[in-house]
A and B are shown apart, each in its own frame.
Chain A
């Protein structure tokens, strides 16, 4: 599986920019399984906590 593409924001929160579907499927079908993510941008001033988490979006 290709790595998720993420940006790292304030307090280390990660925002997925590519791979939401992959992350959601893994979370649903293999709960607890870790996946590889590639941090392509560090944005320490960006607060990503306002966005829903993968867990919150699980069908």
Chain B
């Protein structure tokens, strides 16, 4: 049985294919908004479950809008795969994905919307290496 974080990671992989021009932080901010968060504090407090529910609903709507069937994940690029895998390691810490991402962006002197994937990967790299 998959954990919520694993299911969320899979959903984020599908969303990444549906929105290939969006940075990871943009995707998370969009999901948090769809989950009802409006402020940065609310985004940080958005649970993985809420993000997963929003993602599942939006994937279904967007796929229907595009006339797509099952999403082909072969189009998922290695850097995004790496980033998503790193958050599975972070799951052991028990922090919500939104909080981890917002804090990483803040530490980099930027926002969740603007943070580059490369920065998030670099932040997560040591933990990924341990795994």
Chain A positions near chain B (C-beta within 8 angstroms): 2, 5, 7, 15, 17-18, 20, 40-41, 43, 50
Closest to B57 in A: A41
On chain B, the number of residues with a Cβ less than 8 Å from chain A's Cβ atoms is 14
Q: Is the CB of B61 within 8 A of A17?
A: no
- Say whether B62 faces chain A, with CB atoms less than 8 Å apart: yes
- The smallest C-beta distance from A2 to any residue of chain B, in angstroms, reads 6
Q: List the B side residues contacting A7 at CB < 8 Å.
A: 30, 33
Q: Is the CB of A17 within 8 A of B26?
A: yes
Q: How far is the CA of A6 from the CA of B61 in the complex (A)?
A: 14
Q: Which of A15, A41, A43 has the most CB of B within 10 A?
A: A41
26 A/B residue pairs, CB under 8 Å, sorted by A:
A2-B21, A5-B19, A5-B21, A5-B22, A7-B30, A7-B33, A15-B33, A17-B22, A17-B26, A17-B29, A17-B30, A17-B33, A18-B19, A18-B21, A18-B22, A18-B26, A20-B113, A40-B58, A40-B61, A40-B62, A40-B65, A41-B34, A41-B58, A41-B61, A43-B34, A50-B38
CB contacts between A and B, total, < 8 Å: 26
Q: List the A side residues contacting B58 at CB < 8 Å.
A: 40-41
